[in-house]
Amino acid sequence: MAVTLKNGYKMLIIGLGIRRMDNKDIKTVLIHAIKVSYRHFDCAAHYKNEEEVGEAPAIALQAGPLKREDLFITTELWNSDHGHVVEACKDSLKKLQLDCLDLYLVHFPLFTHMHAGVGKTKSVLREDGELDIDATISFETTWHAMEHYNKKGLW
């Protein structure tokens, strides 16, 4: 089932989340999921499995008759990458073996200090053990960056 958005684009409402899967099993699980008609896959940079997730659709698309527009791939911007939206998106695209995403989400609505590098998704804790939140980056800044690069066709 799909929901048709105002722009005519269809978003599949049932998907397979790839959070707690063993990385070595992901390709096999997704290939079987595609065979039984799953078309929406939800992953995230933070899960550190985008490379494995990207293998199954690549295999399925090569085998045919499935086309890229038959799949709906979602991934997410990690907390420490809010100041690096385009770099983080391009890193995810490379790992997923895609030219564009169908949906790019903000993983969690806080921004953390200590950018560890795109794709590292490290959450830095303060000395007291609490998450080190960066209040200098606004939601609006991230949103505008995502809008800007959406217009460029990355997602």
Q: Verify whether residue 9 is a known catalytic residue.
A: no
Q: For residue 50, which of 59, 62, 41, 37 has the smallest C-alpha distance?
A: 41
Residues 6+ apart with CB under 8 A from 115: 80, 81, 83, 84
Place of tokens 């903000």: 106
From the DSSP assignment, how many helices (H) and strands (E) are in the chain?
4, 6
Residue type, 26: I
What is the rounded distance in angstroms from the CA atom of residue 4 to the CA atom of residue 96? 25
Q: For residue 46, which of 126, 110, 98 has the smallest C-alpha distance?
A: 110
Q: For residue 98, which of 53, 45, 63 has the smallest C-alpha distance?
A: 53
Q: Choose, from 9, 38, 47, 104, the residue flagged as catalytic.
A: 47
Catalytic residues, by residue number, are 47
